[in-house]
Amino acid sequence: MSGVGKIEERETPTPQAVEGVSVVVPIFNEIGNIARLHEELTAALEAIGKPHEIILVDDGSTDGSGEALVDLAARDPRVRLVQFRRNYGQTAAMKAGIDHAGMDAIVTLDGDLQNDPADIGPMIAKLEEGYDLVHGWRRHRRDALISRKLPSRIANRLISWSTGFPIHDLGCTLKAMRREVLSEIELYGDMHRFIPILLFQRGARCFEMETHHRPRLSGKTKYGIGRTLVVILDLMTVKFLLNSSSHPMLVFGGLGLASLALALLSGLATVAMKLAMGTDMTGNPLLLLSVMSGLAGLQLLSLGILGEVLARVYYGQGRRVPYAVRRLVNFEEPALTGHGGADGKG
């Protein structure tokens, strides 16, 4: 393993100790990997020598993983279980684990064992150098070229170019983060893959580290080439959030004024052609362009105003979580459990 380097030089990091480590693992139909995952995570965390907990989030598994996780939590009190009522997706599962984490450093990784738990120790060491986020880079990725690696490379380059955030592997789930910076961002949809960009935008000190990547030994991947479209759509959302979420009128208002200006120019051209050459106004396509542009401009300005109102409503209300928890196991006190609440402690 080797370090890649800082994403951007902002200031010299000040060493800061990590008191404890919470490992968050979303689980969806990984019955064949659970026992080995627990064994490798336990060994890696004990080698670090800090207080730790393993938070496993059952994202509505249907292959018996839920029952296996309940049994595992009953045997190991350091394993915390958050069990969803249904499948909500990886971002919601990750957010649930983060919400219930009790340590000052949070590590996320996939439950398919393609991320190597042995990489957690070096990432925590780098975190203690003063970084807020250490992000994994699967440089030697053990996945199919056409369906996984090639779309990922294209997406990473597109994201890096459009956001100005130089990164090799935004899709790597293995990350180590400080709790105080992670709590400043909202996760919903499929935004978990954009955590480094969202944190960097808030001034986090980031470091990208080369990590091991292993072939999947059990179960089936939940991702394919079809996810590329989702990434592109999410990228558009992130780009808007980074640049204009607090002031949407800058985007919609600018487009609206441009449309109104086009409508004015088209209208003036239509009148000029009528006066100079006697051109029939009703049959002039510039008249239709003027009308359509004018209507589009008014609609865009209206969207800008609505966006401004919604932004103020959003920033003025309490946070909500996009998931509902069925059961909590090995938690001392009830924690934030989402809209539906928890049915009880396990």
Residue at which a domain ends, from 244, 272, 296: 244
Q: Is residue 214 part of a domain?
A: yes
The CATH number of residue 153's host domain is 3.90.550.10
Are 234 and 263 within one domain? no
Are 135 and 98 within one domain? yes
Predicted local distance difference test score (pLDDT) of residue 342 = 42
Predicted local distance difference test score (pLDDT) of residue 142 = 72
Are 116 and 132 within one domain? yes
Q: Is residue 324 part of a domain?
A: no
Q: Is residue 170 part of a domain?
A: yes
Q: Is residue 292 part of a domain?
A: yes
Residue at which a domain ends, from 200, 227, 244: 244
Are 184 and 280 within one domain? no
Are 141 and 254 within one domain? no
What tens digit of pLDDT does each residue of 39-62 get? Answer: 999 999 999 999 999 999 999 999
Q: Is residue 185 part of a domain?
A: yes
Are 223 and 275 within one domain? no
Are 190 and 275 within one domain? no
Predicted local distance difference test score (pLDDT) of residue 218 = 74
Domain count for the chain, please give it: 2
Predicted local distance difference test score (pLDDT) of residue 257 = 92
Are 221 and 285 within one domain? no
Residue ranges of the chain whose pLDDT lies below 70: 1-12, 143-151, 219, 221-231, 242-243, 245-246, 311-312, 314-324, 326, 333-346
Residue at which a domain ends, from 210, 244, 278: 244
Predicted local distance difference test score (pLDDT) of residue 96 = 93
Q: Is residue 262 part of a domain?
A: yes
Are 156 and 203 within one domain? yes
Q: Is residue 331 part of a domain?
A: no
Predicted local distance difference test score (pLDDT) of residue 227 = 61
Are 140 and 78 within one domain? yes
- Three-class DSSP labels, the chain: CCEEEECCCCCCCCCCCCCCEEEEEEECCCCCCHHHHHHHHHHHHHHHCCCEEEEEEECCCCCCHHHHHHHHHHHCCCEEEEEECCCCCHHHHHHHHHHCCCCCEEEECCCCCCECHHHHHHHHHHHCCCCCEEEEECCCCCCCHHHHHHHHHHHHHHHHHHHCCCCCCCCCCCEEEEHHHHCCCCCCCCHHHHHHHHHHHCCCCEEEEECCECCCCCCCCCCCCCHHHHHHHHHHHHHHHHHHCCCCHHHHHHHHHHHHHHHHHHHHHHHHHHHHHCCCCCCCHHHHHHHHHHHHHHHHHHHHHHHHHHHHHHHHCCCCCCCEEEEEECCCCCCCCECCCCCCEC
Predicted local distance difference test score (pLDDT) of residue 346 = 44
Are 36 and 74 within one domain? yes
Are 228 and 287 within one domain? no
What domain range includes position 258?
249-316
Predicted local distance difference test score (pLDDT) of residue 338 = 46
Predicted local distance difference test score (pLDDT) of residue 1 = 47
Q: Is residue 194 part of a domain?
A: yes
